[in-house]
Amino acid sequence: MSCKIIIAKDHEGRRLDRTIRSIWPVLPLSAIMRALRKGEVRLDALRVHEAGARVRAGQELYVPWEEPGAETLDVSRRGAVPVLWRGENTLVLNKPAGLLVQPDVKGGDSVITRVWGIFGAGGQGFSPAAVHRLDRNTTGVLVVALSGEALRGLERLFKERRVVKRYLAVVVGTLPKKGVIDIPLLKDELTNTVRAGTGKTARTHYTRLAGDGELSLASIELLTGRTHQARVHMAHIGCPILGDGKYGDVKVNRRWRGKAKRPLLHARELGFPHGLTGALAELSGKIFRADPPEDISKFFLEGRNPYTPPDIM
């Protein structure tokens, strides 16, 4: 079984694999890659093997699958994701802990599948897409594109590092008042772990907002967007994030396991530059903030320190 569709303008200039995933959002990535390897995907009758090939509006796309929309998503069991702001082309959410941004299995629960349950997914048009990633157990501000033009524009902004990304974290020990961590990071795809000292450039600014000698509350600004960057960089300087089972302090985590059941990291703020045009004009100069969840705010509101997290920015 196969089908042919015409590439819509929302997909102009996008990678072929991302275009296919937008049109068939419940299709496993492995199926897409296999079809490409076998030469079963064509653009204007030409076989395409490269996932990164760019598509153009108006091209004919041939694939070995059913028409988009033939499979439906069961969203009845899924909860909502708090909305911080909604525009015509973009959606800003407050991601909860324990939820992936993208599904890891066919039909799996995630931020995006919940958004699809509201806005729809598949079809020959555009499916809402996350522009950046937060780890499963990281909470906070996440932006989703609702149109192809917005997605392309946001991808450029993040690539050019024009979006301000600030986090709030509870870290172990007494963090210096201010500092910069400029240490490259290398990801091991097999183990999904990251090590510091080699790899891609990574730069992090941090400020200590409060502390009691045992723990510190940190404001962390990521100037790059590497996998696990905040977690690895803070661990590298000896102040790992509390509750981090992968890069953290095992003994301290064990002592606080009743209150720190995840890495206590929260995407507090996302800021966009002025002068944006087109689909992104609605984001121009805007700053979005999400208050920290209870498991973070409790550490500095229950007699440990008079500091109030909502006042940090």
CA distance 256 to 297: 15
Residue 312: strand, helix, or coil: coil
Pairing mode, strands 265-271 and 139-145: parallel
Residue 179: strand pairing partners:
206
Rounded to an integer, what distance in angstroms lies between the CA atom of residue 255 and that of residue 253?
A: 5
User: CA–CA separation, 168 vs 303, rounded Å?
Assistant: 19
- Alpha helices by DSSP H, 229-270: 229-236, 250-255
Query: Do 23 and 123 form a contact (C-beta atoms < 8 A)?
Result: yes
What is the C-alpha separation between 118 and 76, in angstroms, rounded?
A: 11
CB contact set of 127 (below 8 Å; sequence gap of 6+): 22, 23, 25, 116, 119, 120, 121
For the sheet with 46-47, list strands across it.
Answer: 3-6, 60-63, 42-43, 46-47
Exposure of 95 in the CB half-sphere (CA atoms within 13 A): 30
Residues assigned a catalytic role: 135
What torsion, rounded to 10 degrees, do the Cα atoms 274, 279, 283, 285 define?
A: 10
Question: In this structure, what DSSP letter does residue 15 have?
Answer: B
CA distances from residue 7 to 35, 73, 124, 149, 291 in whole angstroms, order as listed: 18, 23, 7, 14, 40
